[in-house]
């Protein structure tokens, strides 16, 4: 029998034990502070930090779990956070995604706080957000534990829900596009760009979001696919939002499908393939054909599900 709880991302190199870099913040502000930037008590700039350790520079410094960070020269640089809670949330989420906090393991809030060199309060806030994501669970008098991995039956149910919701979203968006194309004809809108109804810009944005990044060089585990995970989710969420049905959009977002699927297993074949499938969905939507859009979305979701199936072989 295959033990899902003992496997991280089978298609990626096993990550080294995560090292959490302490988060340094000013006492009266919520933005991150870099050593050497803070003023001294006399109002003079504090001396710069000593030379960084090999492999790290002050300008390319990065946190251990940089989801949502920008990529510069092949390195992930931390985005400036507005609150300490955001930094702690990203770090703890990466621990759970990488199975550094094993599925089912009890989470020690004080221990995490010491590890991140923060107070327990932002750790509790992060865990509350992760509970909403479905990545941790809270039990009365027992505290938080990392959620178990999806079983095969739960995986099938998640795929079924995505087929129901996201196929409907693609069809509805194509219907809206068809309505706007018909309005163009009725109003005899010139195609030379003299008048714009915004449709071309919206489709261009959807096409941009369809593109997915490659693995981040020099990283392992969730850090290597964090940008892919976030971008993949953004495309699906944007498409559902553009369907015009707010409840449908909310339901797609609340599934947190990408987090749960990629915590279970990240197929290397997703790179390149998923982006091309996204573009086929956008092309179908742009024609205003609901059947073609729904078929393209269904084909993408089923193909993506098939790429996960090797994880369950032998289980």
Q: What is the pLDDT of residues 206-254, one digit of tens each?
A: 999 999 999 988 898 999 999 999 999 999 999 999 999 999 999 999 9
Structural domains in the chain, sorted by start? 4-34+55-146 (1.10.10.10), 152-312 (1.20.120.530)
Lowest pLDDT segment from 43-47, 208-212, 290-294: 43-47
pLDDT, one tens digit per residue, over 127-136 is 999 999 999 9
Pull the structure tokens for residue 242: 């553009």
Q: What is the mean pLDDT of the chain?
A: 80
With a cut of 60, say whether residue 64 has pLDDT above it: no
Give residue 125's pLDDT band: very low, low, confident or very high (50, 70, 90): very high
Average pLDDT over residues 193-217: 86
* Model confidence, pTM: 0.72
How far apart CA 132 and CA 250 sit, in angstroms, is 13
Distances 66 to 16, 75, 227, 282 between C-alpha atoms, Å: 16, 10, 9, 29
Pull the structure tokens for residue 98: 């990488």
- What are φ and ψ of residue 138, in 5° steps? -115, 130
* Residues paired with 138 in a beta bridge: 144
């Amino acid at each position: 029998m295959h033990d899902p709880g003992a496997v991280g991302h089978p298609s990626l190199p096993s990550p080294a034990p995560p090292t959490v870099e302490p988060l340094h913040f000013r006492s009266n502000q919520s933005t991150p502070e870099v050593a050497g930037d803070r003023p001294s008590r006399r109002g003079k700039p504090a001396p710069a930090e000593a030379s960084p350790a090999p492999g790290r520079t002050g300008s390319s410094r990065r946190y251990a779990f940089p989801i949502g960070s920008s990529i510069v020269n092949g390195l992930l640089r931390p985005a400036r956070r507005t609150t300490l809670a955001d930094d702690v949330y990203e770090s703890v989420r990466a621990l759970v995604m990488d199975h550094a906090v094993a599925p089912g393991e009890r989470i020690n809030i004080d221990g995490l706080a010491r590890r991140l060199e923060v107070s327990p309060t932002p750790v509790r806030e992060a865990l509350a957000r992760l509970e909403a994501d479905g990545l941790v669970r809270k039990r009365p008098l027992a505290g938080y534990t990392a959620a178990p991995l999806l079983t095969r039956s739960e995986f099938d149910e998640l795929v079924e829900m995505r087929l129901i919701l996201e196929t409907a979203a693609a069809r509805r968006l194509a219907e809206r596009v068809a309505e706007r194309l018909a309005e163009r004809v009725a109003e005899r809108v010139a195609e030379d760009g003299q008048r714009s109804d915004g449709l071309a810009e919206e489709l261009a944005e959807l096409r941009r979001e369809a593109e997915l990044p490659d693995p981040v060089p020099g990283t392992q585990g969730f850090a290597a696919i964090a940008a892919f995970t976030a971008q993949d989710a953004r495309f699906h969420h944007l498409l559902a939002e553009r369907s015009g049905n707010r409840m449908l959009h909310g339901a797609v977002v609340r599934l947190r499908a990408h987090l749960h699927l990629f915590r279970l297993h990240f197929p290397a074949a997703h790179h390149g393939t998923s982006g091309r499938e996204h573009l086929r969905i956008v092309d179908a939507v742009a024609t205003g054909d609901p059947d073609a859009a729904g078929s393209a979305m269904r084909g993408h979701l089923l193909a993506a599900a098939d790429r996960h199936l090797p994880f369950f072989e032998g289980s």
